[in-house]
């Protein structure tokens, strides 16, 4: 999926100004955003008060939506720079095509990881014949300055590591958790884990005290330490935690996201991450001119998305100094 907003806000993110120096338990309710004509998503990051969690800079939770009668997800070709997209499904199927020639359908439990680096274009659609329900999360990871011009790449990992213990089943999307390491390529120390709890589960999971964390509620209702996390909301957990207590009366699914606080300041606008307004304007112009930076999505039969008009004020990576 993508940012389909026709008037996207420019965001100045990163730096340590919004990183909690210790444990926190801040509820982020998310806000509803319309993608295209029919798909509603809940945007958890960025929000006004919380901009990044480690290198995770964008979190949309969508569904479960009944797409039996419709075309489901339909995101036309659009570009990305300077980030990775992490696509995670709980239900349904998505067909990914990109300008490298990747042509992959993926489903629940599989990782679709696209490294935009210097530049890539992709399209995402529900297959013509698709499951009834569509439910997932679209996540972006910001690339550090040293790697943000890396060559674009697409990875599909149909099988991911994890463990089952005390009513908890984990699937490691990115990074390492509980001794299991994802095959997905990461450029900063970070973690993304699906936590599947049976009814009555009461567990304590290990955390890295140097990481900052947040947890997204995907299904059910879970007691996280002293807070209640409902479906479609996120809890920011701060730093300095060595473990996290989870209790669920009914079956529930969570997504735990964390990483080393991201101290570089970035500019994020539409589907681009850069370091200055000039860079962002250059990316937008390159997309509109159909330059070689992004290429052409192979096999997509339709019209690509236009970049929205740039905001009237210059974009700067302003922020608190370390
Ligand atoms: Mn996208």
| Ligand 1 centroid to residue 279 C-alpha, Å | 19
Residue 211 is classified by DSSP as: S
> Residue 10 has what pLDDT?
74
| Ligand 1 centroid to residue 203 C-alpha, Å | 35
> Residue 13 has what pLDDT?
77
As a three-state string, the secondary structure of 251-286 is CEEEEEEEECCCCCEEEEECCEEECCHHHHHHHHHH
254 inside domain = yes
| Mean of the per-residue pLDDT values of the chain | 93
| Ligand 1 centroid to residue 273 C-alpha, Å | 12
The pLDDT of 278-306, averaged and rounded, is: 96
Give Cβ neighbours of residue 182 (< 8 Å, ≥ 6 apart): 111, 157, 160, 161, 172, 173, 174, 175, 176, 192
Residue 98 is part of which domain span? 26-259
- Residue-wise pLDDT for 219-234, tens only, equals 999 999 999 999 999 9
Question: What is the C-alpha to C-alpha distance for residues 275 and 265, in angstroms, rounded to an integer?
Answer: 7
| Ligand 1 centroid to residue 204 C-alpha, Å | 34
35 pLDDT more than 60: yes
The burial class, CB within 10 Å (0-12 / 13-18 / 19+), for 202 is middle
290 inside domain = no
66 inside domain = yes
| Ligand 1 centroid to residue 276 C-alpha, Å | 21
> Residue 255 has what pLDDT?
98
Cis peptide before 129 (omega within 30 of 0): no
Which residues keep their CB under 5 angstroms from ion ligand 1? 2
| Ligand 1 centroid to residue 147 C-alpha, Å | 19
| Ligand 1 centroid to residue 253 C-alpha, Å | 24
The pLDDT of 262-279, averaged and rounded, is: 95
| Ligand 1 centroid to residue 75 C-alpha, Å | 8
| Ligand 1 centroid to residue 84 C-alpha, Å | 9
Cβ-based neighbour number of residue 303 at 10 Å: 8
> Residue 319 has what pLDDT?
43
307 inside domain = no
| Ligand 1 centroid to residue 116 C-alpha, Å | 9
Between 35 and 88, name the one with better pLDDT: 88
293 inside domain = no
Q: Quick one: how many helices (H) and strands (E) in the chain?
A: 1, 27
Residue 146 is classified by DSSP as: G
Local confidence band at 322 (pLDDT 50, 70, 90 cut-offs): very low
Question: What is the C-alpha to C-alpha distance for residues 156 and 139, in angstroms, rounded to an integer?
Answer: 15
| Ligand 1 centroid to residue 176 C-alpha, Å | 25
228 inside domain = yes
278 inside domain = no
Q: Can you tell me whether residue 177 is helix, strand or coil?
A: strand
| Ligand 1 centroid to residue 270 C-alpha, Å | 10
The pLDDT of 236-258, averaged and rounded, is: 98
295 inside domain = no
- Residue-wise pLDDT for 99-119, tens only, equals 999 999 999 999 999 999 999
Nearest in space to 74 (alpha carbons), one of 118, 121, 11, 123: 123
The pLDDT of 244-255, averaged and rounded, is: 98
| Ligand 1 centroid to residue 215 C-alpha, Å | 22
Local confidence band at 68 (pLDDT 50, 70, 90 cut-offs): very high
| Ligand 1 centroid to residue 306 C-alpha, Å | 13
What domain count does the chain have?
1
| Ligand 1 centroid to residue 102 C-alpha, Å | 14
For tokens 């995101």, what's the residue? 75
297 pLDDT more than 50: yes
Question: What is the C-alpha to C-alpha distance for residues 224 and 156, in angstroms, rounded to an integer?
Answer: 31
Q: Can you tell me whether residue 313 is helix, strand or coil?
A: coil
- Read out DSSP for 236-259? EEES--SEEEEE-SS-EEEEEEEE
> Residue 17 has what pLDDT?
75
- Residue-wise pLDDT for 135-192, tens only, equals 999 999 999 999 999 999 999 999 999 999 999 999 999 999 999 999 999 999 999 9
| Ligand 1 centroid to residue 121 C-alpha, Å | 8
* Domain CATH number, residue 165: 2.60.120.10
């Amino acid at each position: 999926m993508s940012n389909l907003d026709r008037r996207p806000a420019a965001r100045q993110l990163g730096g340590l100004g919004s990183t909690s120096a210790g444990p926190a338990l801040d509820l982020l309710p998310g806000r509803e955003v319309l993608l295209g004509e029919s798909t509603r998503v809940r945007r958890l990051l960025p929000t006004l008060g919380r901009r990044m969690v480690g290198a995770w800079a964008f979190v949309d939770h969508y569904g479960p939506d009944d797409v039996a009668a419709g075309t489901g997800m339909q995101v036309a070709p659009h570009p990305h720079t300077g980030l990775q997209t992490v696509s995670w499904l709980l239900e349904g199927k998505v067909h990914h095509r990109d300008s490298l020639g990747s042509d992959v359908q993926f489903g629940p439990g599989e990782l679709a990881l696209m490294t935009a680096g210097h530049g890539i274009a992709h399209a995402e659609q529900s297959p013509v014949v698709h499951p009834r329900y569509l439910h997932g999360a679209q996540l972006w990871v910001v690339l550090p300055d040293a790697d943000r011009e890396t060559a674009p790449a697409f990875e599909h990992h149909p099988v991911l590591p994890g463990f089952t213990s005390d009513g908890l089943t984990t699937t490691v999307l990115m990074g390492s958790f509980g001794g299991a390491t994802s095959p997905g390529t990461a450029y900063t120390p970070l973690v993304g884990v699906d936590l599947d709890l049976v009814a009555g589960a009461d567990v304590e999971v290990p955390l890295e005290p140097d990481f900052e964390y947040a947890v997204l509620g995907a299904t059910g209702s879970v007691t996280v330490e002293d807070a209640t996390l409902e479906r479609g909301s996120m809890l920011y957990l701060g730093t300095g935690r060595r473990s996290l207590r989870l209790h669920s009366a009914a079956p529930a699914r969570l997504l735990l996201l964390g990483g080393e606080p991201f101290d570089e300041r970035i500019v994020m606008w539409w589907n681009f991450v850069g370091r200055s307004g000039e860079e962002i304007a250059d990316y937008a112009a390159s997309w509109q001119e159909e330059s070689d930076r992004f290429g052409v999505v192979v096999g997509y039969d339709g019209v690509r998305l236009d970049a929205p008009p740039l905001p009237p004020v210059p974009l700067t990576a302003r922020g608190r100094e370390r």
